[in-house]
Structure 1
């Protein structure tokens, strides 16, 4: 597609994102999106077959942006411990900024289960690889003696799932007060296990 087509698609996605943030996928129609973008429905259908296709592109864009932030923060840190802390802190700071969209996405899961699971699976695979790479680095450098013989695939999966539980709690209760301190506490508890340390002896 040429520049004009790309500009039209960008405007459609930008307006659709606003609608999805407020109303979710189920309550948003192609007519709503066309009107918000200042386009006719026929123009909209020229670029997208359905609102689900638009929604998928919007959410994938958000997920790619989030992962880019995570990757950048991790790469900027030196030690495996600092990389894990940067990963956790960045993950929840981005969540705080995108809390409205995340709430809507959670609400769309039941009525659009297959689509949401597809999007979730694609993002989670990237996140798992990132966390596993940090754990592998910690093993190689001897930073994490507590997991010297551990399966880092399984450990990464457990950590990502645990983080998702906290993520849902923060969103559903809309409670991001003192977020940095909470993440620091979670990171310290995690480090005790990875380093094989006994916090009672500290």
Structure 2
């Protein structure tokens, strides 16, 4: 790891601690810099603003979480249990990240364009993993015959669409927190449709 990457890793760790302590909205670049013994201008060499730093921290943490989630998912007994567990945990994780970092629906709206760009590579990893589960379900005749990559892609997109719809409703209703429980129920319903009775 070169010096720049090492410093970015240290900044990411300090930022994560500040985001957890103060929330995204109240954390400043000064807070992050001070926790590292630097000045704010030093951070601008690595990140253009606090939101860019938050997005990178979130994506890195998400990749670590994804690896852990996939390992836990593979321990479930049936393909249906694996797929259901995967989506439930995915929703729960997303909700926990937003609540831990005290992100309001309005701030989330500002972050989504940058997040989607960074998330694309993570999503491709999710699709490959989910497709491998679905392929096994098709082989075992637990799932109707389908193209596993297309089905995995569709399920991820539908899941994310439901999350985004839930977030949009929270913005329109000026909710203080986002309640994903109805969205999770919709995902469970969709998943039940792909498994043979």
TM over 0.5: yes
What CA distance in whole angstroms lies between the structure 1 residues aligned with 2:109 and 2:182?
29
Bigger helix fraction: 1
Which 4+ runs in 1 deviate beyond 6 A? none
Q: TM-score, normalised by structure 2?
A: 0.70
Task: Decide whether the 8 Å contact of 2:59 with 2:119 is kept in 1.
Answer: no
Partner of 1:174 in structure 2? 178
Q: Is the 8 A contact 2:163 2:180 kept in 1?
A: no
Structure 2 counterpart of 1:124: 123
Alignment of 1:38-57 (within 5 A): 38-41=37-40, 44=43, 48=46, 50-51=48-49, 54-57=53-56
Determine if the alignment matches structure 1 residue 163 to structure 2 residue 163: no
1:88 corresponding residue in structure 2: 87
1:118-141: CA deviation from partner (whole Å, max 9, x where unpaired): 312111111111211111010111
The question of 1:153 aligning with 2:149 is answered yes
Structure with greater Cα Rg? 1
Is the contact made by 2:73 and 2:82 (CA closer than 8 Å) also made in structure 1? yes
1:74-104 CA-partner distances (Å, limit 9, x unpaired)? 1111221111111022112212321234946
- Establish whether residue 70 from structure 1 lines up as the match of residue 69 from structure 2: yes
How many residues are treated as equivalent by the alignment?
Answer: 184
In the other structure, the counterpart of 2:194 is 193
User: How far apart, CA to CA, are the structure 2 residues paired with 1:98 and 1:45?
Assistant: 25
Alignment of structure 1 residues 4-43 onto 2, 5 Å? 6=6, 9-18=8-17, 22-23=23-24, 30-41=29-40
How has the CA–CA distance of structure 1 residues 97 and 29 changed in structure 2, closer, same or farther, with 3 Å as cutoff? closer
